[in-house]
Chains A and B, each alone.
Chain A
Amino acid sequence: MLRGLRQPFRTGVLLLVWTWLLALVLAPNLLVIGASFLTRDPGTFLSLPVTLENYRNLLDPLYLEVFLHSLYMASITTLVCLLIGYPFAWALSRVAKDRQLLLIFLLIVPFWTNSLVRTYALKLLMATNGLINTGLMELGLIDGPLRMLYTEGAVIVGLVYLLLPFMILPLYSVFDDLRRELLMASHDLGAGRFRTFIHVVIPLTLPGVLAGVMLVLLPAMGLFFVPDILGGSRNLLVGNVIKNQFLDARNWPFGAAAAIMLTLAMALLLFTHRLSQRRLGEEGDV
């Protein structure tokens, strides 16, 4: 009887998940792939004939440069997130359990505000007559306002601000699993703090580092509104190129091709990540 009750529920849930995935993930992606092989049309956006022209246009050195610069800014962002997030997550895993929940809650609170709004708030802070400049001038630390807005630094600050929690959460999860007994065993066997960190802590938290890097590096390439608001015209992300093609240049096929290329680049990164993890796991089976 239990089985009879459980079966329809199970079927229902599976159906819902599959419908969701088909309608909102697979179908839109197929549409984008389709669009990337079509021709631009001023009236209907897309038209025949089928062509590879869009992909050929992507090979333009201009776009390669945007891609590399975008990758560079995303990498700096990831590095900064890692440098802040790693010690943060470690400290977080060491405080009392009820305190941990509060701190994680505080980490998540900013998500309740739209990230676009929060980026505008950053703009207000960093503007020429913004809070930081006026504050520093009041204190007499600087004579004239610092130029912070519309620089590469401003974009990276914005990206770090928005993406830091995505680095901290997977790191917190691996630090939370890191048993204190293992660190004690390492000390007991003659390793000091530094060598314990190198030989035990780093290897055991590496999966969290890789997961955090994936969660920060990939979205960092696509958050187009951050350079739009904070970066000025020179600090474009791949996401900006795609957005501009759809909304400003009205070149849907080319925007679709750029989106596909970004997706492929990300897929490649994820694939190497999985490959390296599998190799880590297999070492012992030789």
Chain B
Amino acid sequence: MTQKTLLSLRNLGKQFSGKTVLDSLDLDIADGEFITLLGPSGCGKTTLLRLLAGFEIPDSGTIELNGADITALPPEQRPLNTVFQHYALFPHMTVFDNVAYGLKMEKRPKDEIHQRVEEALAMVQLGEFARRKPHQLSGGQQQRVAIARAVVKRPKLLLLDEPLSALDYKLRRTMQIELKRLQRELGITFVFVTHDQEEALSMSDRVVVLQSGKVQQKGTPREIYERPANLFTARFVGETNLFPGVLEQVDEQRITVNVSGYRRTMRRPGFPVSEGEGVHVLLRPEDIRVLEPDADHGFAGKVVERNYKGSTLDSVIHLEDGTEVLASEFFDEDDPAFDYRLGEPVRVSWVEGWEWLLPLENGGVPEDQAANA
């Protein structure tokens, strides 16, 4: 990483009544980065955020901010702020007083408080709502007050705990763009917690996938989506078709895999492979190609479901061996009216080189656990 590290977590562990919630976690967060902690509920992402904010003290490990150990510092002394899931606006204070609260606690001069609060409210386009009480605002407006209240203190780090989960879809999209804009303008490092993989992919510079208190993968959204490190990430982030395959021939550059009788040659993966071994062949729905039933390759099957999605046509294809395959195809200008009949026979293949291979046994995540998530 070229940028300097702002936050450094080493061997961080936390248990609640004997149950391990975070398991010796290591993570470095760069200055100015938008990093997302992604995982299903109970994966430890909220606990991690609370450790960073200081609401919980870790059982083991250290948290360093700008080189200073803040592991045992109480929340009020940490130079970072939180946007809470349910906003946590003070109901007895006006919008102005809510935003001014942190500055008053710093005992800033009145003029400065006034100016900075007005700037912060203008930034979230709520200037004219300063005298309202929180209950007189809509959910989206309350959310923006919560953001203004946190950034007005100019923290080095902003923690956001599923801040958009209470908003409806359209507003959530708007707020996602808004948050990205704020983050760019303010240059503050964002640690964003969500269970929404779409949100994680579209907003972050880097995504950390968590499950059972462990980091499953960290990387750019593209890495996470296109090159998942294990089955859990592959299944949790986006839709995935998973085919069992057997390695038939291993060469220096290329391998041949037999996927239920259908032979394909592909690039040799990064992990060690040997002939006769099984592998998982992963294909995203948009990598799937649906061919005419008389095509010379591919799996034979028939269409059992079709969903018109506006920009794509999503279909479920039932293969002869019982497997179901999800396919997502874009409409193209040659055939804008293309569609399937239910029960229509087809053949299923995929674009050469777009498959992703994973070994059968992978990094400590039992398969049943990944499947349940």
A positions within 8 Å CB-CB of B: 179, 181-182, 184-192, 195, 199-200, 203-204, 280, 283-286
Residues of chain A with a CB closer than 8 A to B82's CB: 184-185, 188
Residues of chain A with a CB closer than 8 A to B92's CB: 203-204, 280
Residues of chain B with a CB closer than 8 A to A182's CB: 88, 90
Q: By the criterion CB–CB under 8 Å, are A181 and B88 in contact? A: yes
Question: Can you identify 7 A-B contacts, CB atoms within 8 angstroms?
Answer: A184-B75, A184-B88, A186-B101, A189-B105, A189-B153, A191-B101, A286-B131
Residues of chain A with a CB closer than 8 A to B131's CB: 284, 286
Instruction: Verify if B106 is at the interface (C-beta below 8 Å from A).
Output: yes
Q: By the criterion CB–CB under 8 Å, are B132 and A184 in contact? A: no
Assuming A179-B88, A189-B105, A190-B153, is B55 touching A184 (CB within 8 A)? Answer: yes
Q: By the criterion CB–CB under 8 Å, are A188 and B101 in contact? A: no
Residues of chain A with a CB closer than 8 A to B14's CB: none
Q: By the criterion CB–CB under 8 Å, are A191 and B88 in contact? A: no
The answer for the CA separation of A191 and B81 in the assembled complex, in Å, is 12
Q: By the criterion CB–CB under 8 Å, are A181 and B84 in contact? A: yes
Contact residues on B (Cβ < 8 Å of other chain), bracket: 20 to 34
The answer for the CA separation of A282 and B134 in the assembled complex, in Å, is 13
Q: By the criterion CB–CB under 8 Å, are A190 and B76 in contact? A: yes
The answer for the CA separation of A179 and B90 in the assembled complex, in Å, is 10
The answer for the CA separation of A195 and B84 in the assembled complex, in Å, is 20
Instruction: Verify if B53 is at the interface (C-beta below 8 Å from A).
Output: yes
Assuming A199-B101, A284-B132, A284-B136, is B88 touching A187 (CB within 8 A)? Answer: no
The answer for the CA separation of A80 and B369 in the assembled complex, in Å, is 57
Q: In the assembled complex, how far is the CB of residue A209 from the closest CB belonging to chain B, in whole angstroms?
A: 14
The answer for the CA separation of A81 and B265 in the assembled complex, in Å, is 82
Nearest B-chain residue to A199, judged by Cβ: B101
B263-293 vs A, Cβ < 8 Å mask (1 yes, 0 no): 0000000000000000000000000000000
B67-98 vs A, Cβ < 8 Å mask (1 yes, 0 no): 00000001110000110111011111010000
The answer for the CA separation of A280 and B133 in the assembled complex, in Å, is 12
Nearest A-chain residue to B135, judged by Cβ: A284
Q: By the criterion CB–CB under 8 Å, are A184 and B136 in contact? A: no
Residues of chain A with a CB closer than 8 A to B54's CB: 187
Instruction: Verify if B347 is at the interface (C-beta below 8 Å from A).
Output: no
Assuming A190-B102, A190-B105, A200-B90, is B76 touching A185 (CB within 8 A)? Answer: no
Q: In the assembled complex, how far is the CB of residue B120 from the closest CB belonging to chain A, in whole angstroms?
A: 13
Interface of chain A: mostly helix, strand, loop or mixed: helix
Contact with A195, one of B75, B81, B105, B136 (Cβ below 8 angstroms) = B105
Q: In the assembled complex, how far is the CB of residue A205 from the closest CB belonging to chain B, in whole angstroms?
A: 10
Assuming A204-B91, A284-B131, is B136 touching A189 (CB within 8 A)? Answer: no
The answer for the CA separation of A191 and B153 in the assembled complex, in Å, is 13
Q: In the assembled complex, how far is the CB of residue B165 from the closest CB belonging to chain A, in whole angstroms?
A: 14
The answer for the CA separation of A240 and B46 in the assembled complex, in Å, is 60
Q: In the assembled complex, how far is the CB of residue B92 from the closest CB belonging to chain A, in whole angstroms?
A: 5
Assuming A182-B88, A184-B55, A284-B136, is B102 touching A189 (CB within 8 A)? Answer: yes
Residues of chain A with a CB closer than 8 A to B89's CB: 185
Residues of chain B with a CB closer than 8 A to A203's CB: 92
Residues of chain B with a CB closer than 8 A to A195's CB: 105
Q: By the criterion CB–CB under 8 Å, are A185 and B136 in contact? A: no
The answer for the CA separation of A204 and B81 in the assembled complex, in Å, is 23
Tell which of B53, B101, B133, B150 has the most Cβ of chain A within 10 Å.
B101
**Contacts A187-B76, A189-B76, A286-B131 known; 17 new A-B pairs at CB < 8 A:** A179-B88, A182-B88, A184-B53, A184-B55, A184-B75, A185-B84, A185-B90, A187-B75, A188-B150, A189-B149, A189-B153, A190-B106, A190-B153, A199-B101, A280-B92, A283-B133, A284-B133
The answer for the CA separation of A53 and B92 in the assembled complex, in Å, is 49
Q: In the assembled complex, how far is the CB of residue B218 from the closest CB belonging to chain A, in whole angstroms?
A: 26
Residues of chain A with a CB closer than 8 A to B132's CB: 284
The answer for the CA separation of A54 and B92 in the assembled complex, in Å, is 47
Nearest B-chain residue to A184, judged by Cβ: B55
Residues of chain B with a CB closer than 8 A to A190's CB: 76, 102, 105-106, 153
Q: In the assembled complex, how far is the CB of residue B82 from the closest CB belonging to chain A, in whole angstroms?
A: 5
Nearest A-chain residue to B155, judged by Cβ: A188
Chain B residues numbered 113-132 whose CB sits less than 8 Å from any CB in chain A: 131-132
Residues of chain B with a CB closer than 8 A to A286's CB: 131
Q: In the assembled complex, how far is the CB of residue B155 from the closest CB belonging to chain A, in whole angstroms?
A: 10
Chain B residues numbered 44-66 whose CB sits less than 8 Å from any CB in chain A: 53-55
The answer for the CA separation of A192 and B85 in the assembled complex, in Å, is 22
What 7 A-B pairs are tightest by C-beta distance, nearest first? A284-B133, A189-B102, A190-B105, A185-B88, A181-B88, A187-B75, A203-B92
Nearest B-chain residue to A191, judged by Cβ: B105
Q: By the criterion CB–CB under 8 Å, are A181 and B153 in contact? A: no
Chain B residues numbered 243-257 whose CB sits less than 8 Å from any CB in chain A: none
Q: In the assembled complex, how far is the CB of residue A244 from the closest CB belonging to chain B, in whole angstroms?
A: 46
B128-162 vs A, Cβ < 8 Å mask (1 yes, 0 no): 00011100100000000000011001000000000
Residues of chain B with a CB closer than 8 A to A181's CB: 84-86, 88
Assuming A181-B86, A284-B131, is B74 touching A187 (CB within 8 A)? Answer: yes
Q: In the assembled complex, how far is the CB of residue A186 from the closest CB belonging to chain B, in whole angstroms?
A: 7
Q: In the assembled complex, how far is the CB of residue A148 from the closest CB belonging to chain B, in whole angstroms?
A: 43
Q: In the assembled complex, how far is the CB of residue B108 from the closest CB belonging to chain A, in whole angstroms?
A: 11
